[in-house]
Chains A and B, each alone.
Chain A
């Protein structure tokens, strides 16, 4: 059976693209929530996943390691993974830990979507909570 966490991950789909919103503190627990949702989207056949860090103030090293796992998972599924709305501190952290060599970082969601298939941005969007 599936479990419903007390703090769900916010996510929405724009065509074939899933957008997942990271919480204010990306640690083991919240990272695993994102991981779970991301894998669910990849298994559903999404061609691209955007992780939006607009609310994220702090990412710890465990959170980073989970994001690295997601980069792996996306590669294996031959899907694109883009991070967006990353604040400057977090961007420095990703740079420092080498994530930026494996993932694209967009200024915001719109830019991320523009980098993906043009038809994705035209499609209707749906919002749900995982």
Chain B
């Protein structure tokens, strides 16, 4: 793909995470089917830049159609000015494409220049169009002039017998519903049968197509959502590198979570870091910058401009902020339209405009009967809270800043914890959707049987035994699998509800609903917990009037024998995480960081996994030998390191499943640092019960480490845990 830019604001290689969508776009432009291509973009997801990138791509590909890209609603111009701007821009882009000279797209040209630059074969058509333009502009009918200009690409295409592909950006017209301009754009580009690409906000596009009487089902759609975590991370990494802003994996993860993958917000924060010369290497710096952005940066200006457009009058805007903020405090965050109208104190079309605009920009969700604050984007709710404190509560700015900073800092670990738990989830929804009538060993769904037969054997042996198992379960054909976390009141991704048919026979008798849930239990799940979950899921089944139901509980370490009896009573399945992983592998076949280090310092990264701690132990043994530690001390260091690795593996929901180790040799000591990313263990620094009861058998690791080493220090780092252990040479 091309690296050169014409209309695009960022280089192609920096335009991250949209390859599939661009590919779909190019495919449409190559084939030019009779249907439209509609781009449904999330607010601040980069819809306009996507169109510009697509334009550049088409320009250099030299496809048969001449691309024309125009964004409406850039500034407060009159209809005549907008129409003229469109006409001039379209003609310049046409000439540029025909002359294969990208610079003509952005050079200031008079109509005389444009006519002179037209190729001989286009000259007559171009000059004729310009003459018509001058004539129409002289008339006093604004609407006719606008219509003439919007129809100009079609006319030129007809007279030159070339195909023109308009790429129409309506993103900035969001909320301007049923205005003259919007109506005419719809008429010119959506109501006609010619190929065209129209982009708008995803909540705006259905209204536009409805206005045009166009069949949404007949159009090709591209959904431009926020970037996924991985792409957002790459984008932020790219931005910070380009802007020479120092950042770390941890801080980038936090920012991505906080800004929910919005390219606009990510770019705003990175740019602000550059301008303020702030490094994004710790959570405090990130949150300070974030709060600055909320209070007066690009993010502030974005929301501030949006609210000014939605409610131009200052008093109405202030009331709107109050109503929005206070509605977020109620339990449901939802209120009737009547209540909103009364509280806002505006009537008729003004009220409708405000609610429509809030909905289209995804600041609130309007169902027609009720309105609720949209809390999906933390950046919006944070901005709203800050504005409420400043403008409505009359709080001093310094105090608002301080409170916002404290809140965001306190929230950071929870934000990361949610991410890790989400990533550590087993993906039951996807797993259920892959069932597809496959046959699997029954013991994968019966923890008691599995534990009795397979505990203590390595994965290869267990798989061999499972292959030989005679008791087989035929899974249903799942036709719909949804995230049931809202219904079951669990964290996202931890409950799934799948509708399907036994034996893939579509009859009432064969209809089955699987309700699967991941439950939290450090040890084998007990009777009470299992019973509680069985009853909870059974209630969901009853309330939703599910017919045939199969409950499936997944507990990381399986179930006690009493819990297994409860599962049997409910005819429910119960699996451990290991069983689910084995099942996943059966349903879908399987498909270091290095840094410069000081001479007296060694670094090692090991994956969390079976016995990998031994590799680390052998390494530290070699290092300790080189500096003449006594054999018993070497063994103590080895065991301490092994325990630290086990601790890291067991007690963190590590996103990268890696343990980072550093061995620093000093004059009189060896300092071993073991770090992992993820959740900081609860009760960090507390000892296990080593004296006692045989029942409390786990949790000795830390006590052991403290006994074996001379100094042990736990350090909470921004994103995980770091354990520093020192052994002195005596």
Contact = CB atoms under 8 A, between A and B. Distances in A.
Contacts of B614: 25, 58
Contacts of A35: 456
B626 to A, nearest CB: 20
B461 A72 contact: no
B702 to A, nearest CB: 9
B548 to A, nearest CB: 30
A71 B453 CA distance: 22
A5 interface: yes
Interface string B611-636: 10110010000000000000010011
Could you say which of A61, A72, A88 has the most chain B C-beta atoms within 10 Å of its C-beta? A61
Size range of the chain B interface in the assembly: 35 or more
Interface string A49-89: 00000000010111011101101100000000000000011
B403 interface: no
A119 B730 CA distance: 49
B519 interface: no
Interface in B148-172: none
Interface stretch (B1-9, B381-389, B639-647): B639-647
B635 A5 contact: no
B690 A96 contact: yes
B694 to A, nearest CB: 5
Given A6-B461, A27-B611, A65-B700, A58 B642 contact: yes
Nearest to A73: B694
Interface string A7-27: 100000000000000000101
Nearest to A32: B456
B503 to A, nearest CB: 26
Could you say which of B456, B611, B646 has the most chain A C-beta atoms within 10 Å of its C-beta? B456
Interface in A82-110: 88-89, 93, 96-98, 102
B462 interface: yes
Contact of A29 (B610, B639, B691): B610
A27 B468 CA distance: 27
Contact of B455 (A4, A36, A60, A98): A36
Contacts of A29: 456, 458, 610-611
Contacts of A1: 453, 465, 468-470
A64 B643 CA distance: 12
A126 interface: no
Interface string B290-315: 00000000000000000000000000
Contacts of A102: 694
B704 interface: yes
Contacts, number: 90
Contact of A65 (B461, B468, B611, B697): B697
Given A2-B453, A29-B458, A61 B700 contact: yes
Interface string B237-254: 000000000000000000
13 contacts: A1-B453, A4-B464, A7-B458, A32-B455, A58-B635, A60-B613, A60-B642, A60-B643, A61-B698, A61-B701, A69-B694, A88-B632, A93-B704
A3 B465 contact: yes
B727 interface: no
Contacts of A46: none
Interface in B122-174: none
A29 B454 CA distance: 11
Interface of B is mostly: helix
Interface of A: 1-7, 25, 27, 29, 31-33, 35-36, 58, 60-62, 64-66, 68-69, 71-72, 88-89, 93, 96-98, 102
A58 B638 contact: yes
B707 interface: yes
B709 to A, nearest CB: 13
A5 B707 contact: no
Contacts of B636: 89
Contacts of A36: 455-456
B638 A5 contact: no
B424 to A, nearest CB: 19
B460 interface: yes
B421 to A, nearest CB: 23
B524 to A, nearest CB: 13
A5 B468 contact: no
Contacts of B638: 58
B458 A5 contact: yes
Contacts of B700: 61, 64-65, 97
Contacts of A31: 456
A93 B704 CA distance: 8
Given A2-B465, A97-B690, 14 more contacts: A1-B465, A1-B469, A3-B464, A6-B460, A29-B610, A60-B642, A60-B643, A61-B698, A61-B700, A66-B697, A69-B697, A97-B700, A98-B691, A98-B692
Contacts of B462: 3
B506 to A, nearest CB: 36
Nearest to B456: A32
Given A65-B698, A97-B700, A3 B453 contact: yes
A3 B441 CA distance: 14
A71 B469 CA distance: 33
Contacts of A61: 643, 646, 698, 700-701, 704
Interface string B445-486: 000000001111110111011001110000000000000000
A97 B454 CA distance: 29
A4 B614 CA distance: 24
Contacts of A32: 455-456
A60 B453 contact: no
Contact of B704 (A7, A68, A88, A97): A97
Could you say which of B457, B613, B642 has the most chain A C-beta atoms within 10 Å of its C-beta? B457
Contacts of B617: 58
B285 to A, nearest CB: 38
